[in-house]
Structure 1
Amino acid sequence: MNDPVSPSSPRRPLRWIVPVTALAVLAGGGAWGWTQWQSRQAQERVREENAQLQVQGLLDSVEALRRDQRSTSQRVQDAAATNRVLRDEMLGLSQRNALLEENLAKLADSTRHGAQALQLEEAELLLSQAGQRLAYADDADGAKRLYALAAASLDDVQGSEYLNLRQALMQERNAVDALGPGVRAQTQARLGRFAQALTALPEQIDAPADTAVGSPWWHQVLAPFVTITPTRLQGPLTEAERVAAWDSLQLELTLARAAVERGDQPGYVQALDRVALWLPRLWPDSPALREQRAELHQLRACELRPSLPELGSTLQQLRSMRNGR
């Protein structure tokens, strides 16, 4: 009799195929995972290199801005030294006026016509110096003193034909008094207060309390894994970028002050426009920021050389009267 064939013989190859297939799948999955891990590592290295390049570029930019700021500060100091020299020259002219007054006192025994001519010359010189102080140095206080001396000189001049001249001088003095300490001095003070107010602006603002109630569903799904914070609540810049931006803002404010000192209206407006561009990048939107932006808009509208129709009218009228004789 023949032995019966065992039914497990044909299933033995299947038992080997299943483990081999599982090992092949595991090996393929491991190779694929290794490849993905290597790719991510390479991407991380590329991102780190790019970040280092950006940081180095920002550091170079900050250093260049600091050099420019030092150069600008030196130019401002040179301008201040020039202004001091001009003030000394103005003081010298004032001393010459004092000498002229002494000479007028010595000539008191001369004829009335000669004394009146000297008084008119003195008034013309004083009016000319007052206009120059306002036009070039924005020295409103010095101009007011010169106008007062000119008014005193014209008060001693006899004759009804000089009544209109005195009235014109009074109107011109009222217009100069309305300037206060001077447009540029007021603008410099307002710029200083504006720069001081910027240091008190909040760098971050608190999120509203009801944001979680109306948040989208995907915010709630991802909440256990990540924290979603809008950029407007924490500022758009990193710490390194904020330092560079702050230095740039200070440089633009320095340029604006230098433009005010020179009376350079286009340079002043351009510097404030660049300041306005830095404000929303350094601070998030807030009522305090909006208030400072409104103040900056008002500063931008200031005229460094205001046009006064009355300025120089008395001098022109006096010269016309003297030339008409």
Structure 2
Amino acid sequence: MAGIPPCDPAPVSAPSPVPTPTLRRTPAWVWLVLLVLAALLGWRGWTGWRARSAQEHAVAASTEERMAALTGRIDALRRDQRAQLQRLQQADATNRVLRDELLGVGQRAALLEDSIARFADPDRHGAQALRLDETELLLVLGEQRLLIAGDLDGARRAYALASGVLEGVDDPAYLSLRQVLVQERAALDALGTEPRAAALARLDAFDRQLRAQPPPGASAGSPTTAPWWQRAFGRLVQVQPSERAVALHGGDRRQAELGLQIELSLARAAAERRDADGFRQALGRADAWLTRLWPESPALRQERQRLQALAALPLSLPLPTLGSTLQQLRQLRAAP
């Protein structure tokens, strides 16, 4: 087999070429038509968009106008509401004023009716009404004269005049009033002297006696009457009780006398306003100043006893029936 020569293969024929399809060209007028159609569609879309945009702008503008109109109407309604509320408040205030005036007119009418009824009452007109007014005035004057000025005699005279005027009233309804007036006049007559006036008189007498009578021992330090040892050593040594100091020198004595006079003036002012506590406290301080001026002696004890008796004096009127006649008269006149 090795000697067998290789045989040549048979020649293969080459494949025939495949024919390529030929493309047909589109005519130019077709492209022109398509371009015109695209331009028409674009123009149509643009005009439609512009129309829609204009319509939307018009709708938005009309909406804004409507909103502005609604806002203006709301503001106008609010202004009208505030104006109506202000008118209502003014009307309410006017009604309140008118109601108050109407009530005042009603009260004045009631007072006028009451006054007319009183004038029409046969028990309250003419001379009897004048007598009752005069009696009330005299009772008021007598009470105030006694309480303010402490004028017991003036109060008695005023009550006596009131009793004489009240005797002219023939109405039996005032019989008990005359009895009360008689009892009050008897209490005034039994009073004796007015307590405040009596206390002031005794205080003035005590003050005058102190001014007229020098304290014992006040001139013990004078060089003419003092013993020889006091005249020799009085400027160097002074002997006083250890429990209290007596003002012997001029400056100390003037201060003590001034303090005593101030306390007596305070006591006098307290008695004027019927302040019993202030009266007693002022006299207690005056007693302390008195011990500074007077050395221990029977005269000092006597003056202190007088001060204690002054402090024990009453200042108020022991007259519980004072003003009872005036009160009953007013009750009788106020009764319907």
Structure 1 length normalisation: TM-score?
0.53
Structure 2 match to 1:27: none
Aligned residues with identical type, % of pairs? 50
CA distance in 2, matches of 1:177, 1:271: 32
Q: 1:111 to 1:269 in 2, by over 3 A?
A: closer
Matched pairs, number: 197
CA distance in 1, matches of 2:195, 2:138: 21
Structure 2 match to 1:252: 263
Larger radius of gyration between Structure 1 and Structure 2: 2
Structure 1 match to 2:164: 152
- Whichever residue aligns with residue 184 of structure 2, its letter is E
Give the gaps of 5 or more residues in structure 1: 1-109, 206-225
Structure 2 match to 1:122: 134
Q: 1:275 to 1:228 in 2, by over 3 A?
A: closer
**1:164 lines up with 2:179 in the alignment:** no
CA distance in 2, matches of 1:125, 1:230: 63
Structure 2 match to 1:142: 154
Q: By percentage of residues, which structure has more helix?
A: 1
In 2, are the aligned partners of 1:168 and 1:313 still within 8 Å (CA)? yes
CA distance in 1, matches of 2:123, 2:174: 19
Q: Secondary structure at the match of 2:289?
A: helix
Two-structure CA RMSD over aligned residues (Å): 3.2
Please show how residues 33-182 of structure 1 align to structure 2 within 5 Å.
Answer: 114-182=126-194
- Whichever residue aligns with residue 176 of structure 1, its letter is L
Shift of 1:235: 6.9
Could you give the per-residue CA deviations for residues 19-62 of structure 1, whole angstroms, max 9, x where no partner exists? Answer: xxxxxxxxxxxxxxxxxxxxxxxxxxxxxxxxxxxxxxxxxxxx
- Whichever residue aligns with residue 159 of structure 2, its letter is Y
Q: Secondary structure at the match of 1:231?
A: coil
Structure 2 match to 1:295: 306
Shift of 1:111: 9.1
Q: 1:112 to 1:133 in 2, by over 3 A?
A: closer
Shift of 1:153: 0.8
CA distance in 1, matches of 2:216, 2:245: 7
| Divergent runs of 4+, >4 A | 110-113, 226-230
Could you give the per-residue CA deviations for residues 56-106 of structure 1, whole angstroms, max 9, x where no partner exists? Answer: xxxxxxxxxxxxxxxxxxxxxxxxxxxxxxxxxxxxxxxxxxxxxxxxxxx
Q: Which has the higher contact order (CA 8 A, sep 6+)?
A: 1
Structure 2 match to 1:42: none
Structure 2 match to 1:238: 248
CA distance in 1, matches of 2:303, 2:129: 55
Give the gaps of 5 or more residues in structure 2: 1-121, 219-235
- Whichever residue aligns with residue 238 of structure 1, its letter is L
In 1, are the aligned partners of 2:215 and 2:293 still within 8 Å (CA)? no
Structure 2 match to 1:267: 278
Q: Secondary structure at the match of 2:295?
A: coil
- Whichever residue aligns with residue 203 of structure 1, its letter is P
